[in-house]
């Protein structure tokens, strides 16, 4: 038989040692119990450090409150940090790519195509950047468009997910840049500049060629939109310009953060090709990095090259006779567009989650 002892300072409850637990009930419903072995269980605790077993989070929690989320497929202990429910058990984990831990996040970086394997269900944040377009393959070429960029959050299941990292376009006229993807989120390859006339569309559009005509070629539109819940970014390329056969300039490729620059139609050494459009910054890697800058367009006899967009965009050349001078490729794993007569940069996929 259990015993009950009380005084002004203490209340003592003893189980009888025969397997008969002490039960606490309300209106016939058990709310807590104390076993002979000293294990105390309850459906909830009032006061500091509330612990609740439920499929829905407690309302108005205080820092340090505990909640066992009994939702099917979750079944995890969580604690209120003061701003969010932080999971303590059955924490999400995954494999694949190059893994780093920075600022409370585990980060998976993919610079080539591979597999991301989630070991349980969980929420992840992602950045998907496609390959950059190439610049037009001659001394008067326009800048290539930066690869499309998509960012967002998504809940994944315990499964293997294919990661595709798009290649930058080769340094040939109108070459195609590769798309990048993760879990049906698709970033579109940047537009590659053509040998003449108007630019080509892509994640960000390429610039327009000088065209050898008074109008010059027009920059192309961006085709990157939102994808499977992720927010997509891309911008149009800039227009080319023609003043005379000695002073012809091409437009810059668009970037994820801004349009490509229009060529300056001034005659003489004042003529300039269009600068590459600026890319867009992301801190998913643990520090702020720009991706998907546009490539710079060429300047013919202007004697000064133009810059690619911040975010891996290659520089546009100036030319002397038939030689392009100072042009550079888009930077690898940024999705940067190539400067005129050069290749686009390859893309990248980054996934991270709190630990």
pLDDT at 248: 77
Q: Which of 35-39, 76-80, 218-222 has the lowest mean pLDDT?
A: 35-39
Domain end point (choices 60, 87, 114): 87
- Chain segment 177-223, per-residue pLDDT in tens: 999 999 999 999 999 999 888 999 999 999 999 876 556 799 999 99
Cα separation, 309 vs 277, in Å, equals 5
Are residue 105 and residue 190 in the same domain, yes or no?
Answer: yes
**pLDDT at residue number 1:** 44
What residues make up the domain containing 311? 91-355
Phi/psi at 163 (5° precision): -110, 125
pLDDT at 252: 97
96 and 68 fall within a common domain: no
**pLDDT exceeds cutoff 60 at 127:** yes
- The token pair that represents 261 in the structure block: 């620059």
For residue 114, which phi and psi values (nearest 5 degrees)? -165, -155
For CA atoms 258, 259, 260, 266, give the dihedral sign. negative
- Parallel, antiparallel, or unpaired: how do β-strands 66-69 and 51-54 relate? parallel
Tell me how many domains the chain contains: 2
Q: pLDDT tens, 243-302? A: 766 677 899 999 999 999 999 877 666 678 999 999 999 999 999 999 999 999 998 766
Q: Which residue has the higher pLDDT, 93 or 347?
A: 347
Q: List the one residue out of 220, 222, 262, 221 whose CA is nearest residue 242.
A: 262
Tell me, what's the pLDDT at 58?
Answer: 86
Check pLDDT > 60 for residue 5: no
Q: Does 161 share its domain with 309? A: yes
Mean pLDDT of the region 46-61: 72
Between CA 266 and CA 315 the distance in angstroms is: 20
| Same domain? 186 vs 136 | yes
82 against 30, higher pLDDT: 82
């Amino acid at each position: 038989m259990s015993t009950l002892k009380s005084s002004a300072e203490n209340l003592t409850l003893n189980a009888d040692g025969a397997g008969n637990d002490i039960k606490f009930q309300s209106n016939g419903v058990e709310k807590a119990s104390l076993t002979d072995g000293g294990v105390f269980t309850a459906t909830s605790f009032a006061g500091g450090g509330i612990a609740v077993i439920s499929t829905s989070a407690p309302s108005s929690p205080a820092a340090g409150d505990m909640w066992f989320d009994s939702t099917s497929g979750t079944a995890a202990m969580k604690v209120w940090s003061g701003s969010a429910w932080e999971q303590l058990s059955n924490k999400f984990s995954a494999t694949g790519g190059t893994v780093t831990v920075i600022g409370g996040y585990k980060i998976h970086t993919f610079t080539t195509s591979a597999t991301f394997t989630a070991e349980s269900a969980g929420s992840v944040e992602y950045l998907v950047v496609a390959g950059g377009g190439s610049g037009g393959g001659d001394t008067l070429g326009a800048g290539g468009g930066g690869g499309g960029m998509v960012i967002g959050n998504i809940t994944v299941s315990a499964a293997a997910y294919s990661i595709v990292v798009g290649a930058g376009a080769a340094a040939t006229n109108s070459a195609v840049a590769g798309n990048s993807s993760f879990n049906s989120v698709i970033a579109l390859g940047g537009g590659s500049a053509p040998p003449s006339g108007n630019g080509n569309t892509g994640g960000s559009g390429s610039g327009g060629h000088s065209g050898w005509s008074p109008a010059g070629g027009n920059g192309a539109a961006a085709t990157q939109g939102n994808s499977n819940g992720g927010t997509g970014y891309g911008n149009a390329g800039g227009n080319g310009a023609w003043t005379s056969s000695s002073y012809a300039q091409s437009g810059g490729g668009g970037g994820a953060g801004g349009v490509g620059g229009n060529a300056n139609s001034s005659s003489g050494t004042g003529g300039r090709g269009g600068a590459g459009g600026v890319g867009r910054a992301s801190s998913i890697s643990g520090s702020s990095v720009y991706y998907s800058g546009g490539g710079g367009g060429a300047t013919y006899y202007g004697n000064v090259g133009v810059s690619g967009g911040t975010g891996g965009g290659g520089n546009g050349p100036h030319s002397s006779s038939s030689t392009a001078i100072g042009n550079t490729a888009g930077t690898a794993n940024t999705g940067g567009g190539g400067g005129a007569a050069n290749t686009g940069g390859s893309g990248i996929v980054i996934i991270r989650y709190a630990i």
